[in-house]
Structure 1
Amino acid sequence: MMAHPVQHFPVGGRRAWLVWASAIAVYVLAVFHRTSLGVAGLQAAERFGISSAQLSTFTIVQLFVYAAMQLPVGALLDRFGSKRLLGVGLTLLTASQFAFAFVDSFAAALVCRVLLGMGDAMVFISVLRLAALWFSPRRTPMVTQLTGLLGQLGALAAAGPLAAALHAFGWTRSYAVASSLGVLTGILLVVVVKDSPYADHDRDELRLRAMARTLANAWRVPGTRLGLWSHFTSQFSANMFTMLWGFPFLLSGQGVTPLTASALLMLMTVTTMITSPVIGSLTMRFPFSRSTLVLAIVGLGMLMWTVVLALPGPAPVWVLALLVVAVAMGGPGSMIGFDLARTFNPPTRLGSASGIVNTGGFVATLMAVALVGVVLDRVAPAGPTAWDHDAFRLAMLVQYPVWALGIAQTLRYRRRARRAALEADPEAYAALRAGRPATFH
């Protein structure tokens, strides 16, 4: 008879919060590094002597590497655990940003962005897996939303302090000091974080040769693909805006001052932090309607983009403020995708399922960032100096086909996931409809 695993720490106890908080520090730093180029685009173009197309290549390459690594990282996470992958990811982030501070060629800078994408890919789903193992299923959705909320502190630091540091101290000093934060965070990771409150978790039964099977099993679950398309549809607009095109859109397309543009980007971060617990609470209260909540958030963002793009000239600042608030809600909205995957997968597949879900939003972001750049190159071939309201209005229209694809697939897999859940466990399905937590493994 198999003995029950030895539990060293209580689920949801003090140690659980310490582990999660230490992992969050790594995630905050990852978000900071991920979005740091969003406020340094003009300096990067000048430093490396590159065109607007080459500038967008930085973000495209970074996103491509991030998205491409989600599946293998998810499988590795199930094999090796969160602590090891967080350590490797933090090392890559720190090394890439330190090198980025000193390189002065486009090719070398691209290598740095590749390494940054690799490191970033290992962080978020590692933190989510810790949350799923250290907290009860009832509390996990709120902890997941808090993860996304606190991660936005990194974006806030990029939009504010980093932008100010670049202006005051220059490129090399700013990026070098920023990279050094990884050393302090690494110490916290080594000392505090444990993969599981149990002495011997189920993940230890997995072997490297089983990775492909684990991924395939997670992919076959309709709920996993519902999570993927929910993430795909809700996250990309906010990512596209904060990671590259938002600042130029506001300056060149809407004619606001750099100070106003920075304030609007910071408003996005504040909105994400405020709405995350609200969306997390709604996710817990209405588990059967989680995908409906995703679609409502996406619809609000589409509405505000339509208002802004329909105007014959630049929008008033208050309208732009409403736009960034609506777009920012897509960030916490995308977290619902991970909660959907958690509902339909056992703990031994959480890493793989989360990796699949996380691929969605970043593939969509990659598409949007690339398409905006392509349109800008066609309508304003002279480069950034030729970007204006009309050019950006045409370029931002590329979001609508991406939304249409995501909405259609979300509706498709919602039907499949609900049907599969009803067939697998009618009692759990009834509990879910009644607003109680349920899992379908």
Structure 2
Amino acid sequence: MQALTAWRRIACVFLPFAAGYYLSYVFRTINALIGGQLSSDIGLETADLGLLTSVYFLVFAAVQIPIGISLDRFGPRRIQSVLLLVAAAGAALFAVATGFLSLLIARAMLGLGVAGALMAGLKSIVLWFPKERVALLNGYMIMLGSLGAVTATAPAEYLLRWMNWRQLFEILAFATGATAILIYVVVPERIMGRSTIRNTLSSVLGDPRFWRIAPLSAACIGSAWSLQGLWASPWLTDVERFDHPRLVGQLFTMSIVLCGGAWSFGTLVHCIRQRRAGVEIIVAAIAGLFIAAQLSLILRLPLPSILPWSVIAIAGTATVVSFAAIAEYFPPELTGRANGALNVLHFGWAFVSQCGTGLILQQWPVVDGHRTVFAYQVAFGLNLVVQIAAFVWFALPWLGSFGRRMGSNPLRLPASVSDAVETFMPCEQLLVVMPANTDSEW
């Protein structure tokens, strides 16, 4: 194995994979900006636009497990460089597409081509960096990648003053191909030694801890991607009645918040791990805030629009926390499969949420160029029900522990402050007493 200094690992491993993830975020969110132009130029309906944007997530989800297995077997360098060439071809096809079908095929190629961007980056971090730095570097990886969402707002809007969306995709096709070549040439090869454990997907899918956290992570993160990647723009236009400059400004602000959220989550997880505490409480807190933000939109609470939408944007970077929790359950040899399995659910729900929202919205007519507030309330509300159900499922072990404690001594009053904390805050005690990777009741 070639020895690399810390700075060479950053330059030759971390940054090239971060560039690939950056491009994947550009492709994921760019339709929120150009959706109106696509609809007018190609003649797309609301449901068509929802399907076109969400097919990215469908293909993305479908190939996560095969890509995860390939990353574990062949390493991230070769897999990522090949996939990014597919993405470059998809961007080139998107630039010359003249109808819905060709756009759909191109979008699907983009989804396939960048499907391994995040997992390849996370796998490279596991392979090349110390374990105690993994969570922090994961946060930096997602922060740098989410700059792609920033690029897909005001900077892309500025470029579109000088060119059309087809020329923009030609530039993206060239940049993606160049990044593929960079990763193949610059990133060193590193093969993991043979492990004594069985590196099978069943080792991941058979673990009950995975199925406790995965539904909540998928329902919240997938919904956040769906909303920011497409439906934030129609909501702000139809419900908030933003004009185009104000819309672009809010999308830009949300993207900046997205980057800050990724860095904050990575730093927070790093600090919590140093204190030998579990990260699952962070998952619960993020989910609770995300649900509350959507509820405030649905109920039309008198809050500044940027506040709930910023929370929604931040929730999209909670993959840092989810992957950190998953990393506590499985050894490094299984990280590709574990992250891939979780990403199947993330992107699978993003597809269902994004496409389903378009189908629901189309059931209401357009009045004076806008859809009714009630249409959005129904579409967003049905999505929220799924998240609340997943949150209850995630919290069941804590709720069960609380019920058992209360049921065993229902009439006993706490004799002291510490006794009261022990009785009425079992969740906090679980975080201290029970290690995050225990099999007991999880």
TM-score of the aligned structures, taking structure 1 as reference length: 0.84
1:133 alignment counterpart = 127
Q: How does 1:46-65 map to 2 (within 5 A)?
A: 46-65=40-59
> Bigger CA drift: 162-171 or 28-37?
162-171
Q: Which amino acid aligns with 1:155?
A: A
Given the alignment of the two structures, is residue 274 of structure 1 paired with residue 268 of structure 2, yes or no? no
2:391, 2:436 → 1: CA distance? 25
Do the aligned partners of residues 384 and 332 (structure 1) sit closer, same or farther apart at CA in structure 2, a change above 3 Å counting? farther
How far has the Cα of 1:230 moved from its partner? 4.4
TM-fit CA distance, 1:204: 9.6
Partner of 2:225: 239
Contact 1:234 1:334 in 2 (8 A): no
Structure-1 residue corresponding to 2:381: 397
1:36-51 aligned at under 5 Å gives the runs 36-51=30-45
Query: Given the superposition, is the C-alpha separation of residues 233 and 283 from structure 1 closer, same or farther in structure 2, using an over 3 Å criterion?
Result: farther
Aligned to 1:256: 242
Equivalent in the alignment of 2:294: 305
CA distance 1:364–1:42, shift in 2 (3 Å): same
Distance 1:139 1:383, change over 3 A: farther
User: Aligned runs of 1:304-323 on 2, under 5 Å?
Assistant: 304-311=293-300, 319-323=304-308
CA contact (8 A) 1:66 1:121 kept: yes
Measured on the aligned residues, the alpha-carbon RMSD in Å equals 2.9
Q: Which residue of 1 aligns with 2:346?
A: 361
Structure 1 segment 31-430 matched on structure 2, within 5 A: 31-196=25-190, 200-202=191-193, 214-287=200-273, 288-311=277-300, 319-380=304-365, 382=366, 385-411=369-395
1:230-260 Cα shifts (integer Å, max 9, x gaps): 4313312321122111111111121011111
2:411 matched to which residue of 1? none
Q: Equivalents in 2 of 1:96, 1:26: separation in Å? A: 15
- One of 22, 25, 30 as aligned partner of 2:16: 22
- CA gap of 1:431–1:136, structure 2 versus 1, over 3 A, is farther
Q: Residues of 2 paired with 1:192 and 1:229: CA distance? A: 37
SS at match of 2:51: helix
1:376 & 1:50 partners in 2: Cα distance?
Answer: 14
Q: CA deviation at 1:131?
A: 0.8
Amino acid at match of 1:249: W
Cα gap change, 1:373 to 1:133, in 2 (>3 Å): same
Counterpart of 1:422? Answer: none
Deviation at 1:431, TM superposition (A): 13
Residues paired across the two proteins, number: 407
- What is the Cα deviation at residue 203 of structure 1? 6.3
Which deviates the most, 185-194 or 100-109?
185-194
CA distance in 1, matches of 2:28, 2:9: 27
CA spacing shift, 1:437–1:16, aligned 2, 3 Å: farther
Could you tell me how far 1:40 is from its partner in structure 2? 0.8
Q: In 1, Cα distance between the equivalents of 2:162 and 2:235?
A: 24
- Distance in 1, Cα, partners of 2:334 & 2:314: 28
The one-letter code matched in structure 2 to 1:108 is S
Q: Which runs of 5+ in 2 are unaligned?
A: 401-428
Taking the aligned partners of 2:45 and 2:120, their CA distance within structure 1 comes to 36
Q: For the residues of structure 2 that align with 1:202 and 1:13, how far apart are their CA atoms?
A: 22
Highest Rg: 1 or 2? 2
Question: How far apart are 1:158 and its partner, in Å?
Answer: 0.8
- What per-residue deviation string (whole Å, max 9, x for no partner) do you get for residues 22-69 of structure 1? 111111111112211121111111222121111111122211111111
Q: CA deviation at 1:383?
A: 8.9
Alignment partners' CA distance in 1, 2:194 and 2:33: 40
Cα pair 1:225 1:357 within 8 Å, conserved: no
Structure 1 pair 390–85 and aligned structure 2 pair: CA distance change class (3 A): same
- Taking the aligned partners of 1:274 and 1:122, their CA distance within structure 2 comes to 23
Kept after mapping to 2: 8 A contact 1:34/1:120: no
Structure 1 counterpart SS, 2:2: coil
Contact 1:28-1:153 within 8 A present in 2 as well: yes
Note the C-alpha offset of 1:228: 2.6
1:334, CA displacement in angstroms? 2.5
- Name the CA shift for 1:393/1:175 in 2 (closer, same or farther; >3 Å): same
Q: Deviations over 1:102-155 (max 9, x none)?
A: 110111111111111111212111111011111122110111111111111111
| TM-score (normalised: structure 2) | 0.84
SS of alignment partner, residue 121 of structure 1: coil
- Deviation of 1:433 after TM superposition, in Å, equals 4.0
CA separation of 1:290/1:182 partners in 2, compared to 1, >3 Å: closer, same or farther? same
Alignment partners' CA distance in 2, 1:132 and 1:231: 21
* Alpha-carbon contact 1:38-1:243 (below 8 Å) kept: yes
Structure-2 separation of matches of 1:234 and 1:289:
20
- Say if 1:368 and 1:402, in contact at 8 Å, map to a contact too: no
